[in-house]
Structure 1
Amino acid sequence: MTPQRSPLASPADRLVLFVADGLRADKIVQPEGQDRAKFLRRIMKEEGTWGVSHTRVPTESRPGHVAIIAGFYEDVSAVTTGWTMNPVNFDSVFNQSHHTWSFGSPDILPMFQHGASDPDTVETFMYPPEFEDFAGEASHLDTWVFDHVKELFASAKKDKDLNKKLRQNKIVFFLHLLGLDTNGHGFRPHSEEYHNNIKLVDQGIEEITKIMEEFYGHDGRTSYIFTADHGMNNRGGHGDGHPDNTRTPLIAWGAGIRGPRKTGLGHDEFSAESDLIEWQRDDVLQADIAPLMSTLIGTDFPVNNVGELPVTYLKEDERFRAEAVFANAREILAQYQVKHDEKERDELFFRPFQPLSGLNAPDAFVNDIRDRIEAGEYIKAEILSQELIQLSLRGLRYFQTYDWLFLRGIITAGYVGWCMYCLVFVIKYYMLARPTEKLLSKSGAWFMDILSISVFITLGSMIWIQNMPLMYYAYSLFPVYFWNQVLRHRNTLMAGLQLATESGWGVFLLGIATFILTMEALVYSFFKREVLSVCFIFLAIWPVVASKRMRSEHLKLSLAWIGACSCTSVFTLLPVEKGEDINLVVLGGIASLILGAGLVWVLISSSRINRRLSTIMVIQLLAISFSMVLVYSTSQSLRQREGLPFVNQALSWAIVAFSTFLPFVYRGRPTDDYLARLLTICLAFGPLTVLLSISYEMLFYVCFCTTVLLWLEVEREIYRGTRVSVVRSLMVNDIRAALFFLFFINVAFFGTGNVASLGSFSLESVYRFVTIFDPFMMGTLLIIKILVPFFVVSAVLGVISTSLDLQPFSLFLAVMTVSDVQTINFFYFVSDYGSWLEIGTSISHFCIAELFIIFSIILFLLSRLLVGHLAIPRLIKEKTT
């Protein structure tokens, strides 16, 4: 693509970009901001233009900076590639400059240097990674940046070559200020540390501005832009589409920037109570900042820019604005033309984008705008250019989503085919007493295979001819294979249906309705966690309603179940925004010690465990006790700003490693009691949960483990009265256990205060293990914290399978059969339009639902290694007595 720029002289020779990482817009705009950001707010009222920059999801540092500096929204998957390397190199404002000096974090700066066509164009000054320590106050990171900028200009007074470089045109200074993000994660955005850091940033920007103005002799050729890559929620996290994460400040002043206007336009409820209400607020999308910077210093627009030049930020020069917007329109139109030509070349049945076809062809638009500029009709030319931008963006969107119907169709067919394939497998091997299905004739099987191959070849040919991505072949292969297998075994489905309707069609339809309502309730729980608390009410009375034996012979067990369900139901009613409360962590630890010690005593008294296993359990209880001491000690050290003591850090890792791997080292004996083994697993993760807790997480873990262990006992007792054989086939009623499992998986996730969002997790949880910024280590610890309850319920499901005289994997395969019903819901909820909160939430829901399935498979297989070999002998012994 041919780079585009305005043919007129630029208003500025140099640009200074300040990015305050993790700064929420309300911290500047709201009334209390006048005490924190006196210089910036004076600029907003007296010198420059301001507004809110609305970011896209994921609200993370990498995609935020790419949008600001390169002008396009990076693919969501790019955030998984890390912060320091690019999936593909890209053009940026820095790359188009004559020279860029960048100061700040080693997590952000290198990717723009790697992305430059000439790496020497972008010069980086970075502090060491170990400076990013969440254990202490982090404003020193910003002080480091400001000091090094000052040193640069001080050196220029002695270094003639540097002085000459600094005085050329089309140069950029980029100051990445990470202190706010680090303090926000460490102390949360309402903390004194976060607010004081805003003051430091404000004062630093004022000093840098004065130094630069003095260095350049107040020549009026410097433009300044202040913004943030993303905001931060009240929990100290970001990543999703919540307004606290997507609203960031944008303040521009200096050369080429319009001064403030007292019109009071652009305000909504966000700034309605601010003392800035009388000044005009000009909001932009985050990618719009890149074309603004290019326009100010007269460089080519980044070739992949999709930002729209915010003309309200430019001085009132009609011709300059018209030419600038026209250049912006040509640059986006060039991208549209590339996409158009690709689709026209490759598509079998090409359908053009009608608004830019025929009489409205792009050339006609461009010629019309150029003629109006030459005729001096600048306002009309600007309006037409903006219209061309909108049409080009719509056209880009049209071609980017050109294959959506095809993709959604084959992916849906794949999901449904997978569910049906699992159902066939379960019916054939676990429901039917013997494989009695009438197999297809050899000719019928050949016909089915030939038909499937023909369908795949047809789809593959379309993909190849249309030059679609390689992944599309996999998308097509899966549904073809699954449906081939389903159709080959259609008699199995019919046999399963006949078996399911033996009790009557009314009972069968009632069961289907109950299943659908349950699955939809689980889907709705992603939006309203309180739904899970309502479900617990029904679960609490289930044993009493389901079995007379539970009402009469096992009243204590029923009462314990009701109490456990009631206690666990409380956690999905608690607010998700929780601060650190070590007292609750310690209380959870004490509860685990009391219940754990009580169960150990019961098992010893009833001779259900041997001395070796009881000794292991006592050691586990001691490990939990020591973890509580470490949590309290580490918390005090961090609170007093003394950092993470090395001894505490080493002991935390050592205890977790010892306790977590103990069940894998001692895997038990065939004579070990199933409940003792499950208790060992629960206690093994106790120290890890304590050390990763900041509030009521450990209390939840205790209540959750108690509830699922009681679920096991209730299922055993209800089934004990109806046992008919040693090993039986799966029945329709067993789907209840699969639904219970899915319910407890949802509770495991939402019970610790999470919301269904990729940005709902607080880094504060990992500070007993690591405080130096390490996104992958920290992310791994957070994921492990979430997965611990998943592992426990997976282990319990394995024991329930055997307790109900089922084959080990039968119940879990039933879970796999129904679990994708939830995923299909979220697949169709995924949206890329509407508010960024809606978009981010829809993406998060789908990803989390998909991960639930993946993690459940892995953890169930892992749990079978620990409990499968010892549960079967115990239960067979029971049956023979």
Structure 2
Amino acid sequence: MAPIQPLNKNHFAKRVVVFQYDGGRADIIYGLQNQSYETEIGQPRVPIIHNRIKEGKANFGIQHAIVPTESRVCVQNMMGGYQEDMTAILSGWASHDTLKYDRLFNYVKAGFFFGPELLHNIFENQKCSSCVRLDDYPDSAVNYNDHKQASTFDQLVYQKVSRLFNNGTLDQGEKPNQLLKQYVSLKEDQEKLQSEQLIIYINWIASDAIGPAFKPVNKEYHQSIYTTGKLIEKTEEKIRNYYKDDGETVFILLSDHGMADNGAHGDGNPQNTYTPFVIWGSSIKPAEDELDPQNPETHDDFSKKWGLTMKKRVDIDQNQLPSLISILLGIPIPINNEGVLPLHVLDINLLQKAYALIQNAFQLQTTYQKIQQLVEHKQKWFFTEYKISPSNVFDNLTKLKQQADKLAEITDNGKNASLQQKEEVKQIISDTYVELENIKNGIVYLKLYQKQILQIVVGSGYVSFMLLCLVALFRYNNTSEESEAEIIKQNKIPFYKNICLIIVILFGLFSLFYLNLTESKPVYYAYFGLPLYFLYQFYRQRSFLNQGWDFSMLKNIGCYALVALAGQCLMYSFYERQFIGYNFIAVSLFSLIYSKYSFGNISKTTYIWSILCLIISIFPILPPISIANDVFYAVGFAAISITVFYISFYHFKQELQTSVKVMTVLTLYCGGISLYLRTVESSTVPYFVYGINWAILFSLVGSVIFLNLHKNSDSDLRLYSLIVIMFNLALLFGISYDTLFYIIFAGLLKSWIEHEKEISILFTKEQKIVPYHFYFIFKFILIMNMSFFGIQDLVSLGSFNYESVTRFVVNLNEIVTLALMVFNLTFPFLCGSSAFIIICKSAYQKLKSVGLFIISLIYAEIMTINFFFMVKTEGSWQTKGGSVARFVLSSMLVFLYAFLFLIAHKLFKSTKIQSI
């Protein structure tokens, strides 16, 4: 697409300087010093912000950031106004070169970037690589667990900036950072500094480096905010002095994202999305006075604590920044920009504002037109325009520009406008906003053009597959060989009488024609083809549904309704962790009632199972673990140590394998080293400690392989061995009451095995699937969900507490962190699958294992079809990304269960499990 050239004849500033607090929270940056360790209680934590606002120079408010930041969304949104597609989260930070989008630096005459090497590709100028100077440092040098070392990188950035404006020298008496490279004062740099349309972007990384490890509620984070604020103040003064306060500079202080209390920043928590936005300088409208500072109109409880209620707060969205900077510098707005210009922060006349907004509208109309061209090219005969087409919008904007041109001629570009002419300009601005709304609605219409038809086709695929699973379940478990052969014989129909097959073929041919004509993606053929195949197979084998339960029709319908309700309960567990706890409470009560009804009394085994269900239900009802708690961890450490030593050396006695004895002793090291690493600074920890931790981690993996090779016949001992491995991992990764959770989880698995053995006596004469087996699988999936969501809300990586991996790494690495997190989650899953295998082989050995697996598929499909229709295409990044993540996780359950069944089956293949 061609960029839209500026409509205003003059720019409003020669240069824009951006101070970016990386990972800076609005409430802490705006806030007053109020902690005992802060030196100036009651004074601003970042004085330059309060000074500029109170002096009547700056405008301020909240910049609503786009999250999550596992990809390039935040900084990219500030430079290009473009929100990345959700799938880009899979590419991570390392794939900058594969992403093509427009940004501010493609249009400036000169630019400077100071910050980590990780970001520098975003600031390159694709059209003139020599126009932008990148003065970065290696990101690998930053120690995210050493607040003293991390804070020096902001000092390094200041030295780099200071050196530029001092013509190659540092401030007098300043000791150079060891990473400060030899600098040659280039004439070209000084020429860039004097040019118009200049952007200087300065990234201050200390707060983002310190926050995940030390948490933004602690003194290390507060001190980094304060220290960086002083450096920003010195930098601003140095720049103003260099240009002799010529009034042509705009300063912007902001953050790319915030920081939650647990140090993460990947979800929609306001702590992550509420970031500071302070702007002052040329053509910037200062904040207006509040009429009543005691009851401010524009402040809420969040901002009243800042001590700025005498001035009005003005908020913007993060994607509005590129259009604002473009208008100030008089350059084209990036063509991928999605944001609308925030007129309320500009101190220019109304006609200039109208021109600026019309330019923004033309830029967005170009996007609208391009998207329609792409959709129309593919849809061909099937395309229907939105009611306000791109050409309609273009014509309307052209008329508005012509009106503005006439007013510009008679008012000296808006300088001498009368009251009536100002009202006409206001109407032009109002009409432009109407066109902007039409553009937004038109783009949404086009992006979701095939939504309804795809929902119908894909939804029917899930429903038909679920029905086919139900048929297969009753065919292979409840049907004898004789009756199966008879049903197959009855279902054979000649082709000319097979109306269903003829309809399937005709619809399939039409689908091929439609998909080929619309140039659809290859996966669309599967979307259309699989439902046809599943529905036809279901139609052929529908008679096997009669082999289901020997109940009346009303009772059968009731059983199916309960299965669907159970699937819904499991689905809601993905949205609200509390539902897992509520489900366990229901299971606990039902187990007591069912046992009393079936046996006439409640056994000790059932009591233990029910009590453990109630206890473990507490964990998902509690908030997710966000902050380390040494007391909870120490209690869990003690409980695990006592438990494993008691069971290992008293219960199993001589039967215990040497490897398990070693792992039992390792619990003391794992818990002790975790407590030690939390009480000392990472810079003082010898590197060999991390080496030992990695060695233990690999040895635990190796012990699983050893268990598979070892010919031990005791299934209880083998399950216990896996549980001891899980305990060791819990101690290495744990930070709070998660250690207590895993010991309750282990007890739950053992009691579940005994409880199912007891209940299965009721079905020893049955060799077919009954409704209780659906309840049994419901409990299995519920236990698996508990192992996944019990102590964390892990739909997004942003909710993962990075302190869990500090026992293994000094510098946080995205790939290593993800691998460690997945590894830590694997063993609770494996223990749950192992308990399931033991139950299948001991309690339900007369059933075909494929039958129980098919039931898990049915539950997975019930959840997945719900998540499919709940995928969001509107709202914040977190809203859309979270809905997609739940759909993907649910879809992957099928593969996860199959994989875990395979491993657990291999582990227990050589063991002798006593059947009922």
Q: Same fold (TM over 0.5)?
A: yes
Matched residue, 1:44 = 53
Give RMSD over aligned pairs.
2.8
Query: 1:150, 1:461 → 2: CA distance?
Result: 66
1:176 aligned counterpart, secondary structure:
strand
Could you tell me which amino acid in structure 2 is paired with residue 870 of structure 1? Answer: S
CA offsets 1:748-781 (integer angstroms, 9 cap, x no match): 1222243655522111111001131311111221
CA offsets 1:436-488 (integer angstroms, 9 cap, x no match): 43254263498766654543443343233223444333333332333333233
Q: How does 1:601-750 map to 2 (within 5 A)?
A: 604=652, 611=655, 613-638=656-681, 642=683, 644-667=685-708, 672-720=713-761, 722-724=763-765, 728-750=767-789
2:369 corresponds to 1:337: yes
Deviation at 1:698, TM superposition (A): 1.6
Alignment counterpart, residue 388 of structure 2, candidates 330, 355, 377: 355
Matched residue, 1:280 = 312
Alignment counterpart, residue 310 of structure 1, candidates 321, 342, 348: 342
Query: 2:624, 2:538 → 1: CA distance?
Result: 43
CA offsets 1:174-224 (integer angstroms, 9 cap, x no match): 112222122111111111111111112211111111111222222222222
CA offsets 1:87-127 (integer angstroms, 9 cap, x no match): 431110012222322121222222443x7344444432222
1:666 aligned counterpart, secondary structure:
helix
Deviation at 1:40, TM superposition (A): 1.6
Q: How does 1:377-456 map to 2 (within 5 A)?
A: 377-434=424-481, 435-436=484-485, 437-438=487-488, 440-441=491-492, 443-444=494-495, 451-456=503-508
2:265 aligned counterpart, secondary structure:
coil
Alignment counterpart, residue 85 of structure 2, candidates 65, 75, 79: 75
Change (3 A) 1:722 1:428: closer
Deviation at 1:647, TM superposition (A): 1.7
Matched residue, 1:466 = 518
Change (3 A) 1:60 1:9: farther
Q: How does 1:470-489 map to 2 (within 5 A)?
A: 470-489=522-541
Q: How does 1:190-339 map to 2 (within 5 A)?
A: 190-263=217-290, 266-339=298-371
Deviation at 1:546, TM superposition (A): 2.7
Structure 1's unaligned 5+ residue stretches are none
Query: 1:678, 1:642 → 2: CA distance?
Result: 39
Change (3 A) 1:156 1:473: farther
Does the 8 Å contact 1:11/1:296 carry over to 2? Answer: yes
Matched residue, 2:809 = 770
Identity of aligned residues (%): 25
Deviation at 1:305, TM superposition (A): 0.8
Change (3 A) 1:448 1:505: closer
Deviation at 1:866, TM superposition (A): 1.2
Greater Cα offset, 577-586 or 62-71? 577-586
Matched residue, 2:293 = none
Equivalenced residue count is 860
Query: 1:456, 1:231 → 2: CA distance?
Result: 51
Deviation at 1:554, TM superposition (A): 8.2
Structure 2's unaligned 5+ residue stretches are 35-42, 170-184, 291-295, 409-423
2:855 corresponds to 1:814: yes
Change (3 A) 1:711 1:419: same
Deviation at 1:226, TM superposition (A): 1.7
CA offsets 1:718-773 (integer angstroms, 9 cap, x no match): 21354237xx3333321111100121122112222436555221111110011313
1:225 aligned counterpart, secondary structure:
strand
Query: 2:53, 2:164 → 1: CA distance?
Result: 28
2:101 corresponds to 1:90: yes
Change (3 A) 1:131 1:85: same
Deviation at 1:270, TM superposition (A): 2.9
Change (3 A) 1:456 1:622: farther
Alignment counterpart, residue 614 of structure 2, candidates 561, 566, 590: 566
Deviation at 1:577, TM superposition (A): 4.4
CA offsets 1:667-707 (integer angstroms, 9 cap, x no match): 15666122211111111222222111101112111111210
Q: How does 1:48-59 map to 2 (within 5 A)?
A: 48-59=58-69
1:189 aligned counterpart, secondary structure:
coil
CA offsets 1:548-580 (integer angstroms, 9 cap, x no match): 699789833233323322332221232324421
Does the 8 Å contact 1:801/1:809 carry over to 2? Answer: no
2:401 corresponds to 1:369: yes
Matched residue, 1:784 = 823
Change (3 A) 1:529 1:162: closer
Change (3 A) 1:22 1:276: same
Q: How does 1:541-560 map to 2 (within 5 A)?
A: 541-547=589-595, 555-560=603-608
Deviation at 1:357, TM superposition (A): 7.4
Alignment counterpart, residue 155 of structure 1, candidates 154, 167, 170: 167
TM-score (norm 1): 0.91
Does the 8 Å contact 1:146/1:208 carry over to 2? Answer: yes
Does the 8 Å contact 1:57/1:839 carry over to 2? Answer: no
2:136 corresponds to 1:126: yes
Change (3 A) 1:482 1:722: closer
Alignment counterpart, residue 826 of structure 1, candidates 855, 867, 882: 867
Query: 2:534, 2:318 → 1: CA distance?
Result: 43
Alignment counterpart, residue 546 of structure 2, candidates 485, 492, 495: 495
Query: 1:397, 1:643 → 2: CA distance?
Result: 54
Query: 1:215, 1:471 → 2: CA distance?
Result: 59
Query: 1:385, 1:135 → 2: CA distance?
Result: 50
Query: 1:716, 1:649 → 2: CA distance?
Result: 44
1:322 aligned counterpart, secondary structure:
helix
Q: How does 1:162-201 map to 2 (within 5 A)?
A: 162-201=189-228
Matched residue, 1:106 = 117
Does the 8 Å contact 1:18/1:177 carry over to 2? Answer: yes
Deviation at 1:39, TM superposition (A): 0.5
Query: 1:859, 1:836 → 2: CA distance?
Result: 32
Query: 1:410, 1:614 → 2: CA distance?
Result: 55
Query: 1:416, 1:475 → 2: CA distance?
Result: 13
Greater Cα offset, 565-574 or 554-563? 554-563
Does the 8 Å contact 1:708/1:793 carry over to 2? Answer: yes
Deviation at 1:306, TM superposition (A): 1.2
Change (3 A) 1:177 1:860: farther
Query: 2:721, 2:770 → 1: CA distance?
Result: 31
Greater Cα offset, 777-786 or 181-190? 777-786
Query: 1:178, 1:461 → 2: CA distance?
Result: 55
Does the 8 Å contact 1:6/1:324 carry over to 2? Answer: yes
Change (3 A) 1:587 1:807: farther
Query: 1:669, 1:372 → 2: CA distance?
Result: 84
CA offsets 1:39-67 (integer angstroms, 9 cap, x no match): 02222333121121112343456101111
Change (3 A) 1:722 1:330: closer
Change (3 A) 1:393 1:58: same
Deviation at 1:827, TM superposition (A): 2.4
